[in-house]
Amino acid sequence: MSDQATLSDNDAGMITRVEELGYELKISQVMTTNVVTFSPDMTMLEALNLMQHHRISGAPVIMNGEVVGIISTEDLIRALRDGRIDRKVSDYMSKNLITAKATDKVVEALRIFAKKNVGRLPILDENNKLVGLLTKGDITNGLLTALQRDYQAEEVIRYRASHLFEDIESDRTSLILRYRIIKDDFLHGGAASNNIKRALLRLGADRQVARRCGIAAYEAEMNLIIHTNNGGFLRVEIEPHKITMEAYDDGPGIDDVEKALTPGFSTASEEVRNKGFGAGMGLVNIRSCVDEMTIKTSKESGTNLYMTIYLDKPKN
Amino acid sequence: MLTLQTILDHIELKVLTDPVDFSEIEIHTGYTSDLLSCVMTGAQAECIWITLIANINVVAVASLLEIPAVIITENAQPDAATIARANQEGIVLLSTPVGSYQIVGRLWELGIKDTDPNK
């Protein structure tokens, strides 16, 4: 892109999408189609009057349906300087024609503008007939319009997600997310809780609520990875006014729940501690993040940890 | 508040992840611990986390807590998978041969002191 060097770092994030659009959009989508054209036999004065009237700074010159030249304000200035404003357009027009095809991508036009010192490009169809005119301003407008369309599409998706519950009528609407957590899978530890947090944000949850759910889910997820026989499941039920999360496994159960709830108490192995776990804060953290926490545990049927966060009462 | 670029200008740190515009990353406060659960409770969003742990769980925790940058001290080396995940999650991993105590001291001197959780 010719203007890339002048973009600030702040715009750098946008470049990728704009560049992409340069490859996606065709010239025909951004060019001006109502083109004012001149004939080579007009005088420069007539050209000047037409350009003033249409408020344009240049136009293609057409003879027998073919583009034979292009006139710009620079040519008018030359004619005025020479005192020959009564001369024909064909005497002053630029005949060194640089054109582009309507079916080409916008990026092609950008390359031409970057290389050649031209202000406008006559755009031709496959039969070399003039179908439009393209300036850098047309490209800027076209790209901005396309970006705006992108943005609106994203807005619609966001809006739909965050109004999911309002759109659906039932006596009790909820969305359930389930994640299988695999024993000793430290590599993916935190993936489920990250997805839960993202889903909540997508659904329009408050950032603090999403963070609290994320932290509680992470601790529960790591407990399933570290302390169970066979891993387990995380189940999240999202309702308009509360989020309920459940972590469950099939054993071995918690020996002493009271102890497990004591800050600093941990049964984690030395190996697990070396990974940064086993601070003895897991359940303690969960309890501080959620509004209600219940544990059901037995050697026979494993552990069920229930966590509830109410959306209408903020917790510090 | 300091940008990560300012921190990199003053403290010698090796950038392990792909280079990004560090002047766009704002660091409001810091946190140090090698126990993930403590980080979960104590670390604020937009903080820089100083730790000895170099495994992939660091990235998971940082991502969940919106921690933009982690300084791994005493030359602990994250593996390729950890660095790849950090790149994917947009978290900057930095490495230093010196200990956490020294790094925290340098950051404090630079002016990263604010630990107000409401900010």
Picking from A146, A176, A197, the residue at the C-terminal end of a domain is A146
Q: Which of A185, A270, A285, A289 to mutate: most B Cβ within 10 Å?
A: A285
| Distance in angstroms (rounded) separating the CA atoms of residues B34 and B115 | 18
**Residues spanned by the domain of B8:** 2-110
Residue of B nearest to A285 (CA): B41
- Does B44 touch chain A if contact means CB atoms closer than 8 Å? no
Q: What is the pLDDT of residues A28-59, one digit of tens each?
A: 999 999 899 999 999 999 999 999 999 999 99
**Does some domain include residue B117?**
no
Residue of B nearest to A191 (CA): B60
Burial of A311 (0-12, 13-18, 19+ CB in 10 A): middle
* Amino acid A162: pLDDT: 76
Q: What is the pLDDT of residues B70-106, one digit of tens each?
A: 999 999 999 999 999 999 999 999 999 999 999 999 9
| Distance (Å) from the alpha carbon of B9 to chain A's nearest alpha carbon | 18
- Does A222 touch chain B if contact means CB atoms closer than 8 Å? yes
Distances in Å between the Cα of A43 and the Cα atoms of A29, A47, A89 are 33, 6, 5
In chain B, residues with a C-beta closer than 8 Å to the C-beta of A190 are: 57, 59-61, 63-64
Q: Are residues A112 and A232 in the same domain?
A: no
Mean pLDDT value of segment B49-65: 94
In chain A, residues with a C-beta closer than 8 Å to the C-beta of B41 are: 215, 281, 285, 288
* Amino acid A276: pLDDT: 86
CB burial string B39-54: b at 16+ within 10 A, e below: bbbbbbebbbbbbbbb
| Distance in angstroms (rounded) separating the CA atoms of residues B107 and B9 | 12
Residue for token pair 């003033």: A52
* Amino acid B114: pLDDT: 64
Residue of A nearest to B25 (CA): A10
| Distance in angstroms (rounded) separating the CA atoms of residues A69 and A130 | 12
Task: Report which secondary-structure segment, H or E, holds A194.
Answer: helix A191-202
pLDDT at A62 over 90: yes
| Distance in angstroms (rounded) separating the CA atoms of residues A137 and A31 | 10
* Amino acid A11: pLDDT: 54
CATH number at residue B101: 3.40.1390.20
Q: Are residues A225 and A197 in the same domain?
A: yes
- Interface pTM, i.e. ipTM: 0.80
- Does B24 touch chain A if contact means CB atoms closer than 8 Å? yes
**Average pLDDT, whole number, for chain A?**
88
| pLDDT band of A315, cuts 50, 70, 90 | low
**Residues spanned by the domain of A275:** 165-310
Count structural domains, chain B: 1
pLDDT at A12 over 80: no
Verify whether the Cβ–Cβ distance A277 to B57 is below 8 Å: yes
DSSP A70-92: EEEHHHHHHHHHHT-TTSBHHHH
Verify whether the Cβ–Cβ distance A189 to B58 is below 8 Å: no
CATH number at residue A113: 3.10.580.10
Verify whether the Cβ–Cβ distance B34 to A187 is below 8 Å: no
Residue of A nearest to B45 (CA): A211
Count structural domains, chain A: 2
Q: Are residues A295 and A217 in the same domain?
A: yes
**Does some domain include residue A159?**
no
Q: What is the pLDDT of residues B17-39, one digit of tens each?
A: 999 999 999 999 999 999 998 89
Phi, psi (degrees; rounded to nearest 5) at A70: -145, 140
* Amino acid A314: pLDDT: 58
- Give me the residues paired with residue A233 across strands: A180, A248
pLDDT at A83 over 60: yes
Which among A197-201, A236-240, B94-98 has the top mean pLDDT? B94-98
| Distance (Å) from the alpha carbon of B82 to chain A's nearest alpha carbon | 9
* Amino acid A160: pLDDT: 77
| pLDDT band of B67, cuts 50, 70, 90 | very high
**Average pLDDT, whole number, for chain B?**
92
* Amino acid A85: pLDDT: 92
> CB atoms < 10 A from the CB of A175, how many?
14
pLDDT at A295 over 70: yes
Q: Are residues A170 and A277 in the same domain?
A: yes
Residue type, A165: F
pTM for the predicted model, two decimal places: 0.65
Picking from A117, A146, A175, the residue at the C-terminal end of a domain is A146
